Amino acid sequence: MRTQIMGVLNVTPDSFSDGGRYFDAAAAVDHGRALLAAGADLIDVGGESTRPGAVRVPAEEEIRRVVPVIERLAADGALISVDTMHAATARAAVQAGAAIINDVSAGLSEPEMLRVAADTGVDLVLMHWRGHLVAGAHYTYDDVVADVRRELAGRIDAALRAGVAAARIIVDPGLGFAKNAEHNWQLLAGIDAFADMGCRLLVAASRKRFLASLISPQDPQAATEAERDAATAAITAVSARAGAWAVRVHEPRSSRIAAAVVHAIDTAQEGR
C-alpha cells in the first residue's frame, strides 16, 4: 500500500508555517478541499499551535475553531484527523466526523485522552514529546532512537491499558519536539526502528526548522516554503521506503509523487 499523505490544516492565528492564513472557518474549509485536490488522502485539523513558545488554547476555544471545519469537510466525505491535546476537543471532533485523534503529547497532557480514544473506537496517534509546551524541555538522550522508541512503547502500553485496540494505535517519533537537528537526522536514519514497533508509523517533518537549517545554514529563516517542501518530499521518500503508513505535510502534491515513486519501485521489486 502506498504511504498515505496527511495534509496539514491549521485553524490558528499563530502556527509556525501558515498561522493566520486559514483562521477563518470558510478559508479553512476551502484550504482543506485544496489539500485534497492536491493529493492529500486525509486532513489533520488543528486549532492550537505547538510551535516553541506557543500559549495553550482552552478546549472551548479550540472546539470553536475546529468543529465547524471538521463538520463541513467530513460532510464532503473527507477522512479527518483532529490534532489536539484536549480530551474534550477530541470527543467533540469525533462527534463532528473525525476518524483519528492525533495527540502530540501521547496522552500525557490529559490522560483522559486515552479513554476518549478507547470509548470512541477511532484511531489514535501517539507522538513522542518530552516536556510538552514546558520551558526547559529535556533534549538529552543516551541514544535518541532507542530512547524515543522505549518511551513510545510506554505510551503504547498506557493506551492499551486504557482500552485502545492495538490495531488503532499509530506512532510518531516527534521530529522537532524536544529534539535538536542532530536528533532529528538520527531518528530519520533509524526510522526502521519505529516501523517495526507493531503499529502504523506517521512521520511529520514538513517545513520544520531542521530542514530550513540544512537548506540555509547561515539564516534558516531565508529558506523558502518551496525549498522546505522539496526537503519534505525527500523525507517522504525515505519514510515510504521504511513502510510508513503516512506522512504529515503542508504541501501534498510533491510528497504524493515521492510516495508514488517508492510504491512503484516496491511493486516492481515484488514482481521480479
Task: For cell 488543528, name the residue.
Answer: 46
Element (H, E) at 200: strand 200-203
C-alpha span between 205 and 189 (Å, rounded) = 13
Angle of helix 112-120 versus helix 144-161 axis, rounded to 10: 60
Active site residue 72: no
Active site residue 208: yes
C-alpha span between 256 and 6 (Å, rounded) = 10
Catalytic pick among 130, 200, 248, 256: 248
C-alpha span between 199 and 244 (Å, rounded) = 10
CA nearest to 116, candidates 100, 128, 127, 130: 100
Identify the three-state secondary structure at position 246: strand
C-alpha span between 127 and 12 (Å, rounded) = 20
Element (H, E) at 201: strand 200-203
Cβ distance 120 to 94 under 8 Å?
Answer: yes
Catalytic pick among 130, 208, 228, 241: 208
Sequential DSSP letters for 204-223? --TT-HHHHHHH-TT-GGGS
Length of the chain: 272
Q: Which cell numbers in the block locate residue 235?
A: 523525507
C-alpha span between 224 and 100 (Å, rounded) = 31
Active-site positions? 208, 248
